[in-house]
Amino acid sequence: MSDSGELGLVPTIESTGGTEEVSEMADGVRIRIARFPEPKGKGAGTVLMLAGFTEFIEKGLESIAALRARGYGVITFDWRGQGLSDRLLPHRRKGHIPDMQHFLNDLEEVIRITRFAELPGPHVIMGHSMGGHLALRAAHDHPDLFERAILCAPMADILTGTWPRVAAYGVAKTAVRLGLGECFIPGAGPYVPGQMSYENNPLTTDRARFERIHEQIKINPDVALGGPTFAWVYSAFRSIRLVKRPSYLSQIRIPVLILSAGRERIVSNAGQRDVAAMLPDARLVSFAEGAHELLLECDAVRHAVWAEIDGFLEC
């Protein structure tokens, strides 16, 4: 039984207490930003929420509502190339980025535009999957801005299926150097409605929440995104290599909570354990029955996840 009806089937930014705007980055790319202020009389701090690959603001509204119920304000946005931010290729359903640094550049602008440092503290950075990876990079780059970091199934490394990791890296690198960086990787393609069934999905064991994701896309097909390009994968591998250096992670001094999915099929749990071991102050908690989207899981898993988050934030 799911409690996902708390927000209705398809919550909106406005119904969750937020406002949205579009801001132009230094290179002209327009980024969609959403602000959710602290509830009056409940000030607990402000969370900067970073979405994962293919995600869009509406997909995180249930989690944003949960944070606001706990007294937190939230800032979030659609990464360039995703959601309703500008796409980078004429084929708008290709997941593409030439370099993950471009994401971080946008993050810097969002922090500046929203005056995040001036919003009520403590300041927490929270990211899912790719967003969890980029949250680590942001925590490294801003040692005095965030007090805590929460990483939900972070992209500490990528599962490459039947391909050995070194082969997947080599193919992506070669494809980019041959001018094929904007092509889908083998097996990937554009988002096709109905192509992914609930029974075979790698994201969640909660049918209602799975269906809500696709209902949100049906309402606004412009948020849909398909698989990654060679350039996206090559950039992700390079960024992962940077982050997993002990000399890099040792500089992240804030407490970090890593939430790991026992039924993970997208990112590497072993990579998450490696990162946790190298961070000065990290706690890793695994949820045996949880799939990749831990915050969109069935209620039993989701409640256990929030119990860990609550304990971490109250320390």
Q: Does residue 9 register a pLDDT over 80?
A: no
Domain count, the chain: 1
Stretch 7-26: mean pLDDT: 89
pLDDT confidence of residue 142: 97
Q: Of 288, 179, 285, 192, nearest to 234 (Cα)?
A: 179
- What are 60-76's pLDDT values in tens digits? 999 999 999 999 999 99
Percentage of residues in the chain having pLDDT higher than 70: 97
Stretch 237-254: mean pLDDT: 98
- Name the token pair of 228: 């990654």
The residues pairing with 76 across neighbouring beta strands, listed in sequence order, are 34, 49
pTM of the model: 0.96
Q: Of 262, 295, 221, nearest to 59 (Cα)?
A: 295
Task: Print the domain residue range for 293.
Answer: 4-314
Provide the mean pLDDT of the chain.
Answer: 95
Stretch 101-120: mean pLDDT: 98
Q: List the CATH number of the domain containing 273.
A: 3.40.50.1820
Q: Collapsing DSSP states into helix, strand and coil, what is residue 292?
A: coil
Q: Does residue 5 register a pLDDT over 70?
A: no
Q: Does residue 238 register a pLDDT over 50?
A: yes
Instruction: Answer for the pair 155, 267: CB distance below 8 angstroms, yes or no.
Output: yes
Q: Of 90, 80, 89, nearest to 51 (Cα)?
A: 80
Distance CA 51, CA 55 (A): 6
Stretch 24-42: mean pLDDT: 94
Angle at 288 between CA 283 and CA 291, to 5 degrees: 95
Q: Of 128, 127, 122, nearest to 146 (Cα)?
A: 122
Q: Does residue 8 register a pLDDT over 80?
A: no
Q: Collapsing DSSP states into helix, strand and coil, what is residue 128?
A: strand
Spell out a b/e string for 104-135, using b for 16 or more CB atoms within 10 Å of the CB, else e.
ebbbebbbebbebeebeeebbbbbbbbbbbbb
- What are 188-208's pLDDT values in tens digits? 999 999 899 999 999 999 999
DSSP string, 196-264: S-STT-SS-S-HHHHHHHHHHHHH-GGG----BBHHHHHHHHHHHHHHT-HHHHTT--S-EEEEEETT-
Stretch 230-251: mean pLDDT: 98
DSSP string, 29-85: -EEEEEEEPPPTT---EEEEEE--TT--GGGGHHHHHHHHHTTEEEEEEPPTTSTTS
Q: Does residue 7 register a pLDDT over 80?
A: no
- What are 157-193's pLDDT values in tens digits? 999 999 999 999 999 999 999 999 999 999 999 999 9
pLDDT confidence of residue 2: 42
Q: Does residue 28 register a pLDDT over 70?
A: yes
Distance CA 92, CA 102 (A): 17
**DSSP summary character for residue 158:** B
Distance CA 65, CA 55 (A): 17
